[in-house]
Structure 1
Amino acid sequence: MSDKPLIQQQLANDLAALILDVPEDNVLPFISIFWQVHCEEWHGLDRFRLDKYLLLFRRIVFYSFCWLAQNDWDQVKVEAYTRLLLEGPLHPTDRKKPDAIVYHILEIYFEELEKVVEIQQQQQQDDFTVPIDLLKQPIIVLSTDALNKTTRIKAKQILLEYDTKQNNDMEDDSD
């Protein structure tokens, strides 16, 4: 209920960081229930609180990727996480999922992934492989299967922007 930005930011960070503190077997259920509750309650929020929740969503996505990075991008965990997103907030055919949440996740998904990968690169000496194709899967599914045409277009746009950026980064690295 605080209107002070620093307090809001700290609370969003602390709540999302719980992903790294809960027992390993409870991480995915924790994330799943988080999205379930927020999708169900989204329309009851007043517009003055939306920014606070959007920041919390950003932090949840960030710490979800941190958890995957801590687990060395384990394929089983990545698949479970992307399935969780597709069965939860990014479900392509569930009209009860708020478009605002879907669009926000689309906007921040690759930004937060890049932050985590950058942090991991700075902290680790060893090479590691991020399963980008698996991580892109929820966005790809939305780009083809979403009932909402605007969602399909937005997902395609996000994928194109990400792929273009990755290609440009690869060209810069080779120069």
Structure 2
Amino acid sequence: MESQERNMPFIKNLASSDRKLRTKSLESLRNFLSARQVASSLSTLDILKLWKGLFYALWMCDRPLPQQALAQDLADLIYVLPGSGSDETEIVETWLRGFWATMAREWTGVDVLRLEKFLLLVRRVLGASLAWMKVREQEEGKDGGAKKRKSSGKEKKQKGKWDAKQVDAVVGVLADYPFVLEEDAQPRKRDGEEADEEEGEEDKYEAEVKLTPAFVPVGLKLHVLDIWVDEAEKVGLLEDEDEEAKDILRRITEIVDGLEKGTVSPGVRIRARQSLLDDRLPFTNIAGSDAGSE
């Protein structure tokens, strides 16, 4: 697939030290992603470059309130993409895989002073991903992308059916990235991080993000294990009367259960076990029976 990089002049400005320039570039990105023809033609390499720019946009962002707002804005980009609420779930799935691939690659380089804002970004993107699994009524108007974004905040516990394709996409991403077993993952070589600048490397990155699980640092896994039940509750996955939600939740807990049983990391094993024994889960005794017996 031909790269769209030539049509993304704002990509470098996403990481600018100038706050106004970063804000303007983010708005340009929203408009860029909302165009169906453009979004559908983005290669995985394009998405990786966009997420790298967005990563450093947050990196350069100072003060808690602007950091919180930007983290939410980045998570809400999922609703700007034309795949949201349509049959084009692959667009959003690849976007999410690009996010997790970027987090996995950059995580160990985040210093303690910047860690809090990236922990928040992961929480916001995870929450947006789980909420995206629900079908939404599409709003008409030229600013439809913005309207979708507004409806993606605290209103995520809204009524609505779960979209099977979108559920499969999100559950698959969780299984391949934050909840992936070490033996199933493909570690990245540190000296290959900048390979996307070299001609002929795009096919490698396409396969890496779309087809193979990625190596995920333990610290990132621990954070997702700490927060996934919270975010599942916010979108209504823990509601007793929703049978579809119960089925989705069971799929996720089975993945976490497999991680708890198969990981070689003691820390990951303990956190996975603790999340499965959360009293809010409707079938805690089923999912965590083996864990609780140790």
1:20-169 matches, within 5 Å, as 20-24=79-83, 25=88, 26-70=91-135, 72-93=161-182, 94=185, 96-117=215-236, 129-130=244-245, 131-161=248-278, 164-167=279-282
Moved more, 47-56 or 152-161: 152-161
**Equivalent position amino acid for 2:124 in 1:** R
User: Structure 1 stretches of 5 or more lacking a match?
Assistant: 122-126, 169-175
| Helix, strand or coil at the partner of 1:48 | coil
Cα distance between partner residues in 2 of 1:167 and 1:37:
33
| Helix, strand or coil at the partner of 2:277 | helix
Cα distance between partner residues in 2 of 1:148 and 1:88:
16
User: Which residue is 2:15 aligned to?
Assistant: none
**Equivalent position amino acid for 2:72 in 1:** N
TM-score by length of 1: 0.81
Cα distance between partner residues in 2 of 1:167 and 1:117:
12
| Helix, strand or coil at the partner of 2:244 | coil
Runs of 4+ that moved beyond 4 A: none
More helix by share: 1
Moved more, 137-146 or 29-38: 137-146
Cα separation, partners in 2 of 1:40 and 1:77, compared to 1, 3 Å? same
Do structure 1's residue 5 and structure 2's residue 64 form an aligned pair?
yes
Cα separation, partners in 2 of 1:58 and 1:157, compared to 1, 3 Å? same
| Contact 2:257–2:276 (Cα < 8 Å) also in 1 | yes
Higher radius of gyration, 1 or 2:
2
| Contact 2:132–2:166 (Cα < 8 Å) also in 1 | no
Moved more, 16-25 or 127-136: 127-136
Corresponding pairs, count: 160
User: Structure 2 stretches of 5 or more lacking a match?
Assistant: 1-59, 137-160, 188-214, 284-294
Q: Sequence identity, in percent? A: 33
Do structure 1's residue 17 and structure 2's residue 134 form an aligned pair?
no
TM-score by length of 2: 0.50
**Equivalent position amino acid for 1:63 in 2:** A
| Contact 2:123–2:224 (Cα < 8 Å) also in 1 | yes
| Contact 1:68–1:77 (Cα < 8 Å) also in 2 | yes
How much does 1:128 deviate?
A: 6.8
Cα separation, partners in 2 of 1:37 and 1:128, compared to 1, 3 Å? same
